[in-house]
């Protein structure tokens, strides 16, 4: 988990709500916070929700099966 809270302007805030901490935790454990932020800042705002959905899917698969992950 992050040590600091996300501000209203944070690129993560719309996609990782505080009432679902597991969603961020699983993605952060696989990709890392800085990589997630860089990825989201590098794509159009209308594509970010799909990117987050993909990261959640891939991270969950990797956590569930560390060897084969999202094959």
Residue with tokens 């009432």: 19
Q: What is the pLDDT of residue 2?
A: 56
Mean pLDDT per block of 10 residues along the chain (71 residues) reads 70 92 95 96 97 97 88 71
Q: How far apart are CA 69 and CA 48, in angstroms?
A: 22
pLDDT of residue 70: 74
The answer to whether 63 touches 39, Cβ cutoff 8 Å, is: no
Q: What is the pLDDT of residue 3?
A: 61
At residue 65, what are phi and psi to the nearest 5 degrees? Answer: -140, 85
pTM for the whole structure: 0.85
Q: Which two tokens stand for residue 10?
A: 């944070």
Ranges of each domain in the chain: 21-64
């Amino acid at each position: 988990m992050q040590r600091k809270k996300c501000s209203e302007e944070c690129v993560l805030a719309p996609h990782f709500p505080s009432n679902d901490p597991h969603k961020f935790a699983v993605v952060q454990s696989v990709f890392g916070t800085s990589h997630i932020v860089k990825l989201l800042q590098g794509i159009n705002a209308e594509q970010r929700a799909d990117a987050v959905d993909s990261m959640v899917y891939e991270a969950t698969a990797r956590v569930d099966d560390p060897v084969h992950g999202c094959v």
